[in-house]
Amino acid sequence: MSSNITIAGENLIARKHGEQKALEVTRFVFALVPGLDPNSAVDRTSVRPPAAQIVHTTAVLRAGYVTPNQVVYSVMLGSDVGDWDFNWVGLETAENVLLAVAYVPVQQKRKNQPPLQIGNNLTRNFMVAFSGAQAMTGVTIDASTWQHDFTVRLGGIDERERLSNRDIYGRARFFGGGLQVVKTGSSYQLKPGVAYIEGIRVAVLNPTVVNVASVPSKAWLEVALQRQGSDVVATWQVVFGSNLVDKTDSAGARHYFVAIADLPNSNTITDLRPAQEIDGALIDYLAARNGDYEHLRARGTTKVDVGLGELPNAKSDDPDTNSSEILATTKALQSLKKLIEDAQVGIVGLFAMNAPPTGWLKANGAAVSRTTFARLFAKIGTIHGAGDGVTTFNLPDPRGRFPRFLDDGRGIDAGRVIGSHQGEAIQSHAHTGSSSNGGSHIHSAWTDAQGQHTHTVTGAGASSPYSGYAGEIGNANDGSSFTTNAAGNHAHNVGIGYAGDHTHGITINPAGGPETRPTNTAFLACIKY
């Protein structure tokens, strides 16, 4: 980019100086000159471009002096002007003399045409320098009173506000469950809430869908201050990668990356939103303040304040100390907390809810990362499954089963190892049954009554019947037959002999369901990691 006073302008200045007359600069001229090199020296013999190349003319808006020999002319074009491009700017006098020329890279001026186009505001300043410039032009206003680069000024305000928030909230601060990655059904969401990332306030008003292409993956929150139209706003998005670092884009905007979730598989989400320590000069100052501040979570106190005035000025980082004369430091408490947490790793607990609490995983046999859950892997290893054999391992899976304590040499359940499963079984046993002894007894029997009837008797060779014969019927052997008298309606008794003492067989039908179980209540089994 280059600029200069034209020869015609120089001659006009000399003439005005000789005539002791004022030099009146009246307008800006904008043109788009084909093939113009913005880095080339201005042709001082330049004249106004042809009318076909002129894109806009406008009156000088303001004029001010910088020094007695430097005068600045300014114009501001609002978003109601456009659309045109330019690479040539000229300054003309009241006599239509081209006083000065500037070559610039091709720039755009656009008119505001919502909703299709957001217009831009354009401010151009032209400084003319020659001996006695202020006196000849009659400019009496100090340019410093109105010449500001508002883009730089507002950018500075934004940066100061960001740094102020950074002093208070640190690198990253999330409030409650705000901006936490959760899974609803088969989809992932970002919970609504507020966070500060490097001093930039991020507000998510509604649950927002997060598109997870594949697992395992790590989710990051990318935050930046970027220009949108005539404003600068906080922008954010959820991105995925292994190790993302802050960067500056081509427009000069700084992008900050903070890890918010680890997704080792489709069933597990590890919250990585940092609870980073807030430090800096402001925190040091607040910590050193004297007095009581009821709304502060913690404040500086003395031993006397808390009734420990008799204790010596002694402190310890040792979590194992048992001295009543020594005050435990925060470091000691943190060490103790870690010892307790490490001791709990691998515990299987029962919970009366559908989702595991923070720090626990469902005991469902899932394959999880060996690095993400390194403490748990160090405890249980591949006892419950080796996962893929390289990067994952399996959690225990007691779902639908009753726990049984390890025999550990007692001999009741010999040969069992941790994590082994048994099928259901019933101890071998027999069933006895009997019927009551009936004793010696008889059973009655009978024949049915046949009614009044006769019987016919046939001899061996009788030639004529014998009627009323009272002797032996067997003597009639001549083949003849005869009929006995009717005996009348009668029955015949049948006798049954004694059977003696005896028993009878019994058949028992099966009963019960598909498994053997006591009365029970279902809980969610989880393991501490």
What is the block-wise mean pLDDT of the chain (529 residues), using blocks of 10 residues? 88 91 94 93 92 95 88 88 93 94 92 82 88 88 66 74 89 90 93 94 94 93 82 90 92 91 94 72 67 56 63 71 76 84 91 92 95 93 94 94 88 88 84 71 68 63 47 52 64 70 74 83 93
How wide is the angle at C-alpha 123 spanned by C-alphas 233 and 4, nearest 5°? Answer: 135
Q: Say what the pLDDT of residue 394 is.
A: 96
Q: For the chain, what are the domain ranges?
A: 2-147, 155-271
Query: Strand 122-129's sheet: what is its strand order?
Result: 62-67, 70-77, 122-129
How wide is the angle at C-alpha 379 spanned by C-alphas 373 and 381, nearest 5°? Answer: 80
DSSP classification of residue 477: B
Q: Say what the pLDDT of residue 378 is.
A: 93
What are 38-51's pLDDT values in tens digits? Answer: 989 999 998 999 99
What are 178-212's pLDDT values in tens digits? Answer: 999 999 988 999 999 999 999 999 999 999 999 99
- What the block records as the tokens of 106 is 């091709």
Q: Identify the three-state secondary structure at position 470.
A: coil
Distance CA 255, CA 234 (A): 10
Q: Supply the DSSP string of 171-199, one letter for each residue.
A: SEEE-TTTT-EEEETTEEEE--EEEEETT
- 365: phi > 0 → left, psi -120 to 50 → alpha, else beta; which? left
Using alpha carbons, select from 126, 87, 101 the residue that is nearest to residue 45. 101
Q: Say what the pLDDT of residue 374 is.
A: 93
Distance CA 99, CA 63 (A): 15
